[in-house]
């Protein structure tokens, strides 16, 4: 559990003013023991339900994008009408449950190293991620 002061420092150190709205979002996003996945709408709900407060939708979008840019959030490639974000910013693999539309992290040590024996001239690899789609048996 991080303290408010730590969030303030973190924001300042990345050139973001520690506003009330950003600190609230930090609390909802980072003040927990495990990482999680969310959509903008999920986040909006959590703010109104958990904190019983309201942040304008535009600010939520702004802040999520700012945090992504600073590397505090990661956007996940799932084909959908909406964007998914992840507080786990490391390169990692996912299950995507087609029955529940839920995204679940796969622990790195449970996937054997992936070897790609081909490359594209003039290009460098920035990530290699696996998406395992599952559904109810």
> Which spans of this chain sit near DNA (rule: CB under 7 A)?
12, 16-22, 39-41, 54-59, 61-63, 65, 81-83
Residue 3 site contact among DNA, its own copies, Zn ion, none (CB < 5 to 8 Å, cut-off depends on kind): none
Half-sphere exposure of 127 (CA within 13 A, CB side): 11
Q: Specify the residue, 23 or 30, whose C-beta has the smaller distance to Zn ion.
A: 30
Q: Which stretch binds Zn ion (CB under 5 A): 22-30, 51-59, 64-72, 103-111?
A: 103-111
133 binds its own copies (CB under 8 A): yes
Residue 105 site contact among DNA, Zn ion, its own copies, none (CB < 5 to 8 Å, cut-off depends on kind): Zn ion
Q: With contact defined as beta carbons under 8 Å apart, do 133 and 94 qualify? A: no
According to DSSP, the residues that pair with 104 across neighbouring strands are: 95
The candidate with the shortest Cα–Cα distance to 84, out of 108, 58, 63, 64, is 64
Distance CA 48, CA 53 (A): 5
Sole residue written with tokens 């703010």? 47
Reduced to 3 states (helix: H, G, I; strand: E, B; else coil), residue 9 is helix
In angstroms, what is the minimal distance from the CB of 59 to its own copies? Answer: 21
Q: Which stretch binds Zn ion (CB under 5 A): 22-30, 83-91, 117-125, 129-137?
A: 83-91
The candidate with the shortest Cα–Cα distance to 52, out of 28, 32, 18, is 28
Tokens of 84: 């998914």
Tokens of 57: 């939708």
2 binds its own copies (CB under 8 A): no
88 binds Zn ion (CB under 5 A): yes
Residues that bind its own copies (CB under 8 A): 75-79, 83-84, 93, 95-99, 104, 106-107, 110-112, 114-118, 120, 122-137
């Amino acid at each position: 559990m991080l303290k408010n002061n730590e969030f303030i420092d973190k924001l300042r150190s990345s050139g973001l003013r520690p506003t009330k709205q950003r600190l609230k979002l930090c609390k909802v996003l980072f003040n927990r023991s495990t990482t999680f996945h969310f959509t903008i709408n999920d986040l909006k709900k959590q703010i109104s339900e958990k904190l019983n407060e309201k942040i304008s939708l535009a600010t939520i979008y702004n802040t999520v994008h700012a945090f992504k840019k600073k590397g505090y959030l990661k956007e996940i490639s799932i084909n959908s009408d909406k964007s998914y974000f992840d507080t786990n910013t490391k390169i990692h693999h996912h299950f995507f449950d087609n029955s529940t539309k839920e995204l679940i992290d796969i622990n790195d040590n449970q996937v054997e190293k992936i070897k790609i024996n081909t490359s594209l001239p003039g290009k460098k690899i920035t990530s290699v991620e696996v998406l395992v789609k599952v559904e109810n048996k």
